[in-house]
A and B are shown apart, each in its own frame.
Chain A
């Protein structure tokens, strides 16, 4: 891929070269009017002639009958055999008005006809190309070809400075730049002016192997920011217009295979049949606690800061660990942008501003702020007496500085904050005390230093800061978790290059101070505690190119040390292979062990913790095939299996910060034990197609996820088991800045444990449900159609975009969470949102 950093030029209007014909001359004296060709002759001039660029003429003797048909054509004055033959062929195909005698009667005639090739006038536009890599380093000897619609080509190779000057005529051109194993950069240019143009073409690195398990990478590819090239790319321009995403680049992950639909759109990710708590979120490889604000409305940081969103559903490489589920890694750009950019946007949920500014030749600064105003709109409506409902509100902000040194070294610092809050306050008469409150905040500082050493790169990164999650209930209960977490990573990497072995080695150290307090009536006794912890994890892997086969073995050793004890080191071997079966077909196989530490409260003696608990583990395997379907489409099929064991069971009756609805059904109140097991099997399919105006995505996941909490219990369906999940998206660009999009979502309903009867506890006046078989009932199928309309106006120095995103356009009623009436006499499910129109404005300059 490439980025055109400055497309400013155009070419002078110049038709493609055409043959010319001098006026024929009649030989017969009886002819009063000479024959004339009815249409210009179409001469297929030889390519060598065109390439030579010199004018030539072929003189023919053409015999024309009384009807104007050409009877014969002979060369009188020729050029060469190939050119003469082309001229003769054109003459024989031509038709004439017949010659006439002095009485006006048509008559045969033989004429001398001169067919000339005139090369196009000298180019009136000069295009100065600079071919570089993503870091801006010039690439010499890169081949650049510009092809016109008529087949005319121009181009050459870049010099030692990566520069090439090409002269072409105005019109539509396709530019293709290639160099060695780098993926070709292809773009269409429509040029309508004639002046000097400076154009930067950025070539990506040689197609890199996706790290094991990194099945999908969303590359944020803006027209203003150079990016590298990666397989499985969805550009930010496409994402911005996909229905249901509100233009959020991370939310598109929710539509990819392997991701089940979270209930009530809570925005968490249920990846390959695992709990949201088992998946992790990272920023440049360092852990962050959440990735979405309340209700999954938007990501906790501006998408324009990101270069890639890596979605790792499972079976990934040794660089990542400490979780059984998937991982979403938000990756900022590892190069400097080429120009300033600012935008301001407002929609029904939030207002946001973003800017990237050049501080010096090699230093850029980014800033972004965002705040929701749902509360400002809803609070006055809802608070007309009694309790004061405080609608959810959130804000986030990021400040980033990146500087690059001459030798390729770089330093990147980013500070980011996120704050979500939702409260119900008592009436003013009652002092406005918090009745129910929930908040999630974090403040993080992320530092990255990187420097190349020959073909290898050494990178050190640190991310850390306080996190806070709090719950308050009517002054009688509170719960909070206030960890201060940090993660240090030092890593050396040498990508595989041709036949050379690639490798990666590093150490990933997580640590900090965890503290918590759970004091909520009805959820067991007070629990409070805290501990310092440190979790170093060295890891290494190599990528061995064996012809069409790439083999990546690796190992990661996780440790977990806390004040009351330590988990025995977990040695997790992993293996991934990628085999190029044909030029367009890859076979990917992966397998390995993954480990996840119990929660801190489960380990500490201060509560009900059991310091002897061990890692929760899974063995993950997958087999996938990716097939390119021409240049515009691809299909990926993946089968996966995850065997889970040593899962921590027990104490389900205690308070937890659920990322989804609280569990229903009988709760396991026994002590914590590593006795749970599980099995997840499934298949995923991703079909993607893209043309100049249309992008389409279809993702299907078929899976089954079961759990057995204790050996003496029956296995049951995982609470978010969704056997079939389908997402289909299409976005089509119309003329005049209009764009339409649609998304269809359908998925199996989540299983739930039915209530088959109830017991009335007369002392507490509470109906206690009698549950049926765990997970033996299922919510109805989910279906939603989302529509999106965009209109963009482009002005000389800025652009304005307006969109309307209509979620659940058919107003389908989708039960999301099963609930019951107070006496469990009837079901009373919580439905998904009705039709929600969201509109917004965004101005870029």
Chain B
């Protein structure tokens, strides 16, 4: 009963939703360069990391197509060739990978399915021995198939593991689903206060294969007013509440559909003192 009551009360209170605030190192997004691939394709993913500490994170990115027996189809490839390590990641970094050609025998005809997981482990420098092991090509492949095996040995603070799906089909390239495209409509300055939310309006273009996508945002300060908003008629608006503290805040808005299509917009916004606070001073 209590959670229900709290949920009901929270729904009535205007202000930032706590789930949209990122206050510690977190893998925010893994975006493949295509919404849909064919077996054996080489792909590139952009991994976006928020690190409010500003220290720069060590990043390990790998893929795994689970076989159901705690192994991956990619196990036939050496760890050095399938696991990418990037040091000192600030916000965004790109890594490459290759889908297993063996997927061709497993796919249903003419339909895209999320066959493969791309994992990204971000750690504060020195916290994750597995990144050093990966750098040396000495990771147990069972850990790559089931990352929960090593996550239990890592601290919660300063460590973030994210996962996303890569969609694969046997369809010709021209029929494959495409990522949506998101564009901020209002080009006004990204200035906000904790008294009045800043409305961010976006236009979303899509290929029509998926149902209407949803949009959601994250911020390293303040937060967005809702956990997500539906994209309606190619448009969506999100309210960002700036924190009371003055400073620069990273914003990330993601548009995602149900077929692996994803697009994002990110920028830095400035939180300003509220007029009331300014008058008080």
Chain A residues in contact with chain B, CB under 8 A?
382, 385-387, 389, 392, 422, 424, 436, 756-763, 765, 770-772, 819, 822-825, 830
Contact = CB atoms under 8 A, between A and B. Distances in A.
Interface string B1-38: 11111001001100000110000101111100000000
A763 B164 contact: yes
A823 B165 CA distance: 20
B161 interface: yes
A757 B4 contact: no
A762 B156 contact: no
Given A386-B8, A757-B159, A762 B151 contact: no
Given A756-B152, A760-B26, A772-B152, A389 B161 contact: no
B216 interface: yes
B160 A760 contact: yes
Contact of B5 (A389, A392, A760): A389
Contacts of B163: 759-763
Contacts of B161: 757-760
A386 B159 CA distance: 38
Contacts of A385: 12
A830 B2 contact: yes
B129 to A, nearest CB: 14
Nearest to A294: B1
- Which among A386, A392, A760, A822 has the highest number of chain B CB atoms within 10 Å? A760
A522 to B, nearest CB: 16
B8 A762 contact: no
B216 A762 contact: no
A770 B27 contact: no
B11 to A, nearest CB: 6
Interface in B216-230: 216, 228
B151 A757 contact: yes
Given A763-B165, A770-B151, A830-B2, A758 B12 contact: no
Contact of A382 (B5, B147, B165): B5
Contact of B148 (A386, A759, A762): A759
Nearest to A758: B156
Nearest to B120: A762
Nearest to B157: A825
B162 interface: yes
Nearest to A422: B1
A757 B27 contact: no
B69 to A, nearest CB: 14
Contacts of B148: 757, 759, 770
Contacts of B164: 761-763
A720 B26 CA distance: 35
26 contacts: A387-B8, A389-B5, A392-B1, A756-B151, A756-B152, A756-B156, A757-B148, A757-B156, A758-B156, A758-B161, A759-B151, A760-B26, A760-B27, A760-B163, A761-B162, A761-B163, A761-B164, A762-B28, A762-B163, A762-B164, A763-B114, A763-B164, A765-B228, A822-B19, A825-B24, A830-B3
Contacts of B12: 385-386
B159 A759 contact: no
A771 B152 CA distance: 7
Interface residues of B, number: 33
Contacts of B2: 830
Nearest to A769: B148
B156 A825 contact: yes
A649 B11 CA distance: 39
B27 A389 contact: no
Interface in B106-133: 114
A422 B5 CA distance: 13
B139 interface: no
Interface string B143-182: 0000110011010100111111100000000000000000
A819 B3 CA distance: 10
Nearest to A822: B19
A758 B163 CA distance: 11
A760 B29 CA distance: 10
Contacts of B152: 756-757, 770-772
Contact of B27 (A382, A762, A772): A762
Nearest to B149: A770
Contacts of B1: 392, 422
Contacts of B30: 762
A436 B228 CA distance: 21
In order of increasing CB-CB distance, the 8 nearest A-B pairs are A757-B151, A762-B164, A756-B152, A760-B162, A770-B151, A770-B148, A759-B161, A762-B162
B138 to A, nearest CB: 22
Nearest to B165: A763
Contacts of A772: 152
A819 B11 CA distance: 20
A772 B149 CA distance: 10
Contacts of B5: 382, 389
B66 to A, nearest CB: 14
A823 B50 CA distance: 15
B254 to A, nearest CB: 9
A830 B5 CA distance: 13
B222 to A, nearest CB: 17
A382 B5 CA distance: 9
A830 B4 CA distance: 12
A424 B160 CA distance: 36
Contacts of B162: 759-762
Given A759-B151, A761-B163, A424 B4 contact: yes
A624 B88 CA distance: 68
A47 B152 CA distance: 87
Nearest to B28: A762
B25 to A, nearest CB: 11
A389 B8 contact: yes
B232 to A, nearest CB: 18
Nearest to B121: A759
A386 B13 CA distance: 11
A825 B156 CA distance: 7
A436 B4 contact: yes
A386 B11 contact: yes
Given A385-B12, A763-B256, 11 more contacts: A392-B1, A436-B4, A756-B156, A757-B156, A758-B156, A760-B163, A762-B28, A762-B29, A763-B165, A770-B148, A825-B24
A394 to B, nearest CB: 14
A760 B22 CA distance: 13
A757 B2 CA distance: 25
A265 to B, nearest CB: 12
A822 B160 CA distance: 15
Contacts of B160: 760
Contacts of A760: 26-27, 160-163
A392 B4 CA distance: 13
Contacts of A387: 8, 11
Contacts of A762: 27-30, 162-164
A169 B83 CA distance: 102
B16 to A, nearest CB: 14
A757 B26 CA distance: 13
A761 B27 CA distance: 10
A205 B13 CA distance: 67
Contacts of B151: 756-759, 770
Contacts of B29: 762
Contacts of A761: 162-164
A759 B4 contact: no
A424 B9 CA distance: 13
Nearest to A424: B4
A757 B121 CA distance: 12
A422 B156 CA distance: 38
Nearest to B227: A765
A494 B165 CA distance: 71
Given A385-B12, A389-B5, A757 B154 contact: yes
B76 to A, nearest CB: 25
Q: Which of A389, A762, A770, A822 has the most CB of B within 10 A?
A: A762
A772 B4 CA distance: 28
Contacts of A765: 216, 228
